[in-house]
Amino acid sequence: MGMGVDVRQRIAKRAAQEIQNGMTVNLGIGIPTLVANYLPSSIKVMFHAENGILGTGPSPQQGHEDANLCNAGGYPVTINPGASYFDSATAFGIIRKGLVDVTILGALEVSETGDLANWIVPGKKVPGMGGAIELAQKTKKVIVLMNQVSKNGQSKILKQCRLPLTAKGCVDLIITEMAVFKVESDKLILSEIMEPYTLKEVRASTEADFEVAETLLTVK
């Protein structure tokens, strides 16, 4: 089951609701990079990139890229007024000290207790783990954006992760094209279902056990 453009945008739009004014936010590669497009202009945040920028802005328009300005994924970025540059060691110091409020990242698998596997599929080439381990362990809130199931139809929300872990018990919120799950006290709680999906479909696509929130929302 592939992921259409509108599905990716929908997940990113929902994730943007978790960002509040004044936060320092780190966006991973993939769907998380789209989140910045859905922040209302009233919300001012500092986007942090592991390669040494605090205060990245939206993607530049074609032809206006600055060859010296890119994010941790190597994609061109702009900067907002008040942005600062520093070396990678300082960028990681900011993460390790717990100064990042929210990190939004992709995942290969998440367990029902919030374990995260997102950096390697054994036997496949990887670009490296980047800042994922530090971000997952040290950020105040960790949000995962991903497909509910893998390309071959297997649930990505598992009782236990099968792939090597990035970090244990670090995930606070999972947003997929089907649903939103909170991880609280080592338990998964289904808090929102995205239309047109049903609770039955969410159960069928989720290997992990989960509780259903008393105030289960259906999101259009």
* pLDDT over 60 at 152, yes or no: yes
pLDDT at 209: 98
Q: Which two tokens stand for residue 14?
A: 């929902």
3-state secondary structure 85-117: ECCHHHHHHHHHCCCCCEEEECCCEEECCCCEE
pLDDT at 2: 54
3-class SS at 32? helix
pLDDT at 1: 47
CA-closest candidate to residue 114, choices 161, 183, 163, 181:
183
* Residues with active-site annotation: 50
Q: Give percent of the chain above pLDDT 70.
A: 99
| d(C-alpha 184, C-alpha 186), whole Å | 5
Residue 74 dihedral angles phi and psi, to the nearest 5°: 90, 5
CATH of the domain at 33: 3.40.1080.10
Q: Give the CA count within 13 Å in the CB-facing half-sphere of 37.
A: 12
Number of domains in the chain: 1
Whether 8 contacts 29, CB under 8 Å: no
Q: Can you tell me the mean pLDDT for 142-151?
A: 96
| Structural domain harbouring 183 | 5-219
Strand partners, 158: 111
- Under the banding of pLDDT at 50, 70 and 90, the label for residue 217 is very high
| d(C-alpha 202, C-alpha 37), whole Å | 27
- Under the banding of pLDDT at 50, 70 and 90, the label for residue 123 is confident
Q: Is 65 exposed, middle or buried (0-12, 13-18, 19+ CB in 10 A)?
A: middle
Q: What is the pLDDT of residues 155-182, one digit of tens each?
A: 999 999 999 999 999 999 999 999 999 9
Q: What is the pLDDT of residues 180-205, one digit of tens each?
A: 999 999 999 999 999 999 999 999 99
| d(C-alpha 195, C-alpha 169), whole Å | 29
